[in-house]
Structure 1
Amino acid sequence: MAPGPIPGAPVGSRVGCGEPLGEPHHDELPKGPIRVLLFTSLPDDPDAESGRLDVEAEQANVLEALGSGIAEGWVDLTVPDDGRFDHFQSLLEKQEFHLVFLSGHGQFRQGNVRAGEPGAWFLFEGPDGRSQEIEADDIAKAFKGAAVRCVVLSACESGKESSEALNTGLAARLHGIGIPFVVGMRESVFDVAGTRFARAFCETLGRRERIDVAVQAARRAITQLSPADEMMKREGKTTGSIETTPELTYGQWCLPLLYSQRPKEPLIDWAFTPQPPDRSAQYRDNLAGIALPRQFIGRRRELRELMQVIASGSRQLLITGPGGQGKTALAGRLARRLEADGHPLIVWSARDDYRDSWEKFLSRLQIQHLDNQHRERVQREWALCDTQEEIADLFLRNLLAQTRGKLVLFLDNLETLQDPADGALKHAGLNAWLAACQKLGKEGPLVLLTSRIALGKSDVGCGKPLGEPHQRTSRIALKGDVGCGEPSGEPHQRTPDFIDAVRAKRSPASYPL
């Protein structure tokens, strides 16, 4: 059976008793650019049947498919790395989105043991990284009042319903509250099929086609053999796994289902003049002179693990690994997360071309990070300090007093100050600061460090080597236990551009900055 609609027939199901299918309605369509939210949830504890989704591959495919539209100003893409439901709610409340991708694990149960009724759930990430079931009604409430016009549920069984109650499925519930276009999955879908669907859907939408046209193009893409599939077949690597046998995914073309009563209506009003963003601003987040990728894809598990280590009480974290593995990107994203949670952030890099010497850094601390009261105290007492340790203690006591103990120090590229033989720091000022932080213990600041080699055992309290960078066909993991200083993985070949890094199948988290 070939995919695609019967000529003249709609591609979606009608839900409710609204307006009939037919001519499009163009009343008060929002102007572009089209604002897209790519929200993914990847809990640590999926069941054996559903397994773990290849979230980074889907994100990279969506980003690449929309790349030209982003560069030309037709598309504005947001890719958060926090899969908690309260963060999802906050994004919908604070920002305007026209298209939302909700990617993760979905469940539909014919009978709810507690209520005795069928229902649908989506598995968001809980505070501890484990799955948190959120019911369809609660998800629908999060969309109320939002400007969202299309939701794509890249989740198993998100379009499934009960014959006894047709509005119990997640897709049906979202369409029922007034979202004009909702795409759900009738049954469980393979990762490869979901990724192909998302990529083709975005590529078609990037050409400013209608949603129904994009859905049909994406369904056809599920049946097409990709160059990667061709290579796998030639190399004989399609045995032993359902998902690595391309032909077995073809029958899933029919699983994506579009709910819409007006499928011919445009998603937005495309009659606007796009404003291409500045490339440096589009792909770089400037963190006190340290360039970070604005769209952070990959290293999801490491980021969550580091947050859990901090929550357990660790105050100093070291990320090691060869150049180009994404140490700065990961630590910088972690620092931004902590900053968003209310921790003031202080940053310095030991890189040779960094804007500040150590002496200039100390001056900047006084000017930019201390209020008048604490600045005057530092300047008054500095003359009484006889050692670097006393200076560090003076600064830290006043910074912590001003921030009420919520302070993050991000110190990058320390390998330029280390002895290659044993990893010991050869910088008296920095050694003094780290020693003062350790002396303060749990009352001290959070310290994030990056280096290509492990520090001497006395220099830092918690070290983690960074594993191999993300590839679309593999998983990434931190190798070694806390305190293990042996870095692992191979360095990346450097690429000049963020999009090029994605097209080369490298995670932006591993982009060499």
Structure 2
Amino acid sequence: MSHFVIKPTLDNLAAYPLIYDQVRQLSQHYLRHCVTLDELKTIGLALWQLLKQDATLTPQPLIIECDDKTVLGLPWECVYHPELGFLGKHPDYTLSRRVSSDQALARPPTGPLNIVLFTAQPEKNTARLDLEIEQHTVREVLQPFINAGKVQFYAPHDGRFNTFVELLHRQSWHLVLLSGHGIIKAEEQSFTHSETIKGGFQAANRSELKTVHKLKRPLAAFKAGPQAVIHSEAAAYFVFESEEGEGELISAQTLADVFKGTTVQCVVMAACQSAHFSADNPEANLIMPLVQAGIPHLIGMREPLIDRAGSVFVRTLCKALAQQARIDDAVQQGRRAMTQLLAGNEVWHNAQSADDPSLVQWCLPTLVSQAPTEALVNWDFSPQAHPPTQVGSQIALPKVFIGRRRELRTLGEALYTGTIQRLVIQGKGGLGKTALAGQLAITLAEQGYRILAYQAGNPQNFQSTLKQALNPLSAFEEERDKTESAAFGPDLETHLKTICQQKWVFWLDNLERLQNPDDGSFTDKTLQNTLDILSQWESPQLRILVTTRRAIPQITDYPNYLLNRPNFSDFSRHLENQGLHYPLPERLPIYQILSGNFKGIQLLQSLSPSQDATILKKQLILVRRYLQAYLRL
């Protein structure tokens, strides 16, 4: 399609010598979250003037084309037209950058669109991000396209660099989303501290919604401001997870090297300053080495990024691309979505300016592309609709699974590789056994498995669930189950052999409800016979996940994972997510008195919220009493 290419040069900049100081000041204000709309407009107008373009502008894609690093360091995404306003978020335009490349651009691969969302959240030294919410919202918005066979999606819970490298080369990906912490630091600076910018979202009705920002920098560099690294040899890094849960810094060049030889069309770096173009330090950039490595489309963030802004952008971008939008149009849609980060009952608090700092996040996404008006894949193919991923019981799960990242990583890897094929998750009620097993099953489903879900205590017995796996389109009524019960037994081995020829996860929940109190045997004979038969077979494509409060004598050969209470950080974030916005000093006694039990949070929610310490203590004592009764069930 037609587009307008603008080629700014150093000669253009000669008439505006103050622009560099303005850009440096803008970066400093982004670090302190005190950027104003007037400041953004002033720089945007200056950028428009130095382009020396006619004010008449036909609606079309706009491409800033330049190879000079000095010119590239200017914030072109906030260019302001005197009549049209900010072009980077205007609905009739798109705004992207293009640099020359020695590599010829190949034709887009044929769909479906393969997307991987790779998140990294070190347990130590970094501010906590809402990556679980980001995973959930992206998966939710893509689900219709996944069901239709137009998109394949995978979001692992493993942020290690080695896992990322293996994943890149294990299968063909088109869109790679890297979400986490990005930093720019000098070689002599250590990675031992973290800071978050003061500020967050606050509901107008006193209940707060505090937001963590995707800013991760060494403490010394942050306190000294950007000048602390500008005048030294600095480099850009993405923070992956180490085996010990700490941050592992991977340089931009190392990251670029692992993409060589892949089919990746677009990389999105949803991390602070991943697209920070500095004229003083042009090499300190996460996306340009990837451009030089031949990735056709790169998207990064020019300045520190608010966590919610990054999530909104990624979700909107993914949906637009799944709807077959061009890459530049998808980015433009993402920018516009970032202009509305606050809910109706929220205001920004602790800001150092009169303006809402979330309003100036939209211009941070930077698209550097060889062909910004192209689609990521060739959509001229016949998508194959997927059968239902899950059959059987509709087991209730939390809308967003928070925490347990180490368990998800270690257990998920073992289940996927087959190191563990059968697993019992045992623990007290309310610790999240069902939620953890469900999340493990969902992750396996994203890797091609189907889920047979059975929850003991539901009206549907195990035999009915097993029949749905054999023929998911059939509806088996209770009376029909009773009449066919005798015939089903002798054929059980045949049916199980059929199932074991495909990739299935048997998710068996709350099995303690089926245990005979005298000897622990199961009261559901079909379930007992199934487990007996499967224990004698080698079934490399079958995974079995069992949750129970008590030990099960019949399956003592299964690896048993004893689930303990969550750590305080996960519990605290779960409180916030459930709308219980207690100050930090009050969260610790809640955690201690309730022993980190999620069921206790549900019970606490049923009471009137109070910030009074005496009332809260009485409520916690009451909740603990009910919780003790619940745990005896």
| CA–CA distance in structure 2, aligned partners of residues 469 and 353 of structure 1 | 35
Poorly superposed stretches of 4+, deviation over 6 Å: 6-10, 289-293, 306-311, 335-338, 458-461, 472-478, 480-486
| CA–CA distance in structure 1, aligned partners of residues 563 and 134 of structure 2 | 31
Q: Which residue pairs with 1:302 in the alignment?
A: 404
Shift of 1:135: 1.6
Matches within 5 A, 1:22-421: 27-47=106-126, 51-110=127-186, 117-163=233-279, 166-224=282-340, 229-233=343-347, 238-239=348-349, 247-278=356-387, 280-281=388-389, 284=390, 298-299=400-401, 301-305=403-407, 318-321=426-429, 327-331=433-437, 333=439, 353-355=461-463, 412-417=509-514
- Percent same amino acid among aligned pairs? 33
Unaligned runs of 5+ in 2: 1-40, 42-84, 191-231, 415-422, 445-452, 467-484, 498-505, 523-527, 529-543, 582-586, 604-633
Shift of 1:321: 3.7
- Distance change (3 Å), C-alpha of 1:230 and 1:415: same
Contact 1:38-1:101 at 8 Å conserved across structures: yes
- Distance change (3 Å), C-alpha of 1:222 and 1:132: same
Corresponding residue to 1:488 among 600, 604, 611: 600
Contact 2:401-2:435 at 8 Å conserved across structures: no
Aligned partner letter, 1:12: S
* Deviation string, structure 1 residues 479-502 (Cα, Å, up to 9, x no partner): 6699998953439xxxxxxxxxxx
Aligned partner letter, 1:140: A
| CA–CA distance in structure 1, aligned partners of residues 105 and 562 of structure 2 | 58
- Distance change (3 Å), C-alpha of 1:482 and 1:127: farther
Shift of 1:93: 0.6
- Distance change (3 Å), C-alpha of 1:26 and 1:124: closer
Q: Which residue pairs with 1:436 in the alignment?
A: none
Shift of 1:300: 5.3
SS at match of 1:124: strand
| CA–CA distance in structure 2, aligned partners of residues 486 and 159 of structure 1 | 40
Q: Which residue pairs with 1:4 in the alignment?
A: 87
Contact 1:3-1:220 at 8 Å conserved across structures: no
| CA–CA distance in structure 2, aligned partners of residues 316 and 277 of structure 1 | 29
Please give the root-mean-square deviation of Cα atoms over the aligned residues, in Å: 5.3
Unaligned runs of 5+ in 1: 20-24, 339-346, 369-408, 419-423, 434-446, 492-513
Contact 2:401-2:439 at 8 Å conserved across structures: no
- Distance change (3 Å), C-alpha of 1:26 and 1:129: closer
Contact 1:464-1:480 at 8 Å conserved across structures: no
Contact 1:318-1:448 at 8 Å conserved across structures: no
Larger Rg: 2
- Distance change (3 Å), C-alpha of 1:307 and 1:254: closer
| CA–CA distance in structure 1, aligned partners of residues 153 and 254 of structure 2 | 25
Shift of 1:109: 2.0
- Distance change (3 Å), C-alpha of 1:261 and 1:199: same
Shift of 1:417: 4.1
The answer on 1:464 being equivalent to 2:580 is: no
**Highest relative contact order (Cα 8 Å, sep 6+), 1 or 2?**
1
Q: TM-score, normalised by structure 1?
A: 0.62
Shift of 1:139: 1.4
Contact 2:265-2:295 at 8 Å conserved across structures: yes
| CA–CA distance in structure 2, aligned partners of residues 138 and 337 of structure 1 | 28
Q: TM-score, normalised by structure 2?
A: 0.52
Contact 1:463-1:483 at 8 Å conserved across structures: no
| CA–CA distance in structure 2, aligned partners of residues 166 and 71 of structure 1 | 43
Aligned partner letter, 2:511: L
Shift of 1:81: 1.6
- Distance change (3 Å), C-alpha of 1:480 and 1:141: farther
The number of residue pairs the alignment matches comes to 401
Aligned partner letter, 1:229: A
- Distance change (3 Å), C-alpha of 1:290 and 1:212: same
Contact 1:73-1:276 at 8 Å conserved across structures: yes
Contact 2:433-2:547 at 8 Å conserved across structures: yes
- Distance change (3 Å), C-alpha of 1:40 and 1:246: farther
- Distance change (3 Å), C-alpha of 1:58 and 1:246: farther
- Distance change (3 Å), C-alpha of 1:160 and 1:307: closer
| CA–CA distance in structure 2, aligned partners of residues 309 and 267 of structure 1 | 34
| CA–CA distance in structure 2, aligned partners of residues 85 and 54 of structure 1 | 20
| CA–CA distance in structure 1, aligned partners of residues 437 and 424 of structure 2 | 12
SS at match of 2:361: helix
| CA–CA distance in structure 2, aligned partners of residues 156 and 150 of structure 1 | 18
Aligned partner letter, 2:121: L
